[in-house]
Amino acid sequence: MNNNNKSISTNLGHIFAYLQSTIDTLLGKGFEKIDEYSTTKVESTETKSLPKKVMFWVLGFIGNTGKAYYQKYSELRSKEKKSSEK
């Protein structure tokens, strides 16, 4: 493989890495915001209708699941990085 092809493939790989990082960041922040929103709204929905309570429960579940995923994912990536540095 010549240098030009290596350069193109390297640049393409970097672009994919930046895209993945941006998507991860946006989704992680989004899940945190959903969780925060549902937590603050649940307190004010004590006397609200059942559908609203269910909706906020679902939002909280999705937000908490996403937050847990990204926390664990970050932990695993950190461990992987440390083990590859040895």
The whole-chain average pLDDT of the chain stands at 81
Q: Indicate the number of domains in the chain.
A: 1
Residue 34 lies in a domain: yes
Cα angle: 42, vertex 43, 47; to 5 degrees: 85
| Single-letter amino acid, residue 53 | K
Single pTM value for the model: 0.58
Residue 21 lies in a domain: no
CB half-sphere exposure, 54, CA atoms < 13 A: 3
Handedness of CA 75, 78, 82, 84 (dihedral sign): positive
Q: Are 59 and 37 in contact (CB under 8 A)?
A: yes
Query: Which single residue is written with the structure tokens 């603050």?
Result: 40
pLDDT digits (tens, 9 = 90+) for 62-72: 888 888 888 89
pLDDT digits (tens, 9 = 90+) for 33-75: 887 777 776 555 456 778 877 888 888 888 888 888 888 988 8
| Residue 84 banded pLDDT, cuts 50, 70, 90 | confident
Residue 53 lies in a domain: yes
Residue 78 structural domain: 27-85
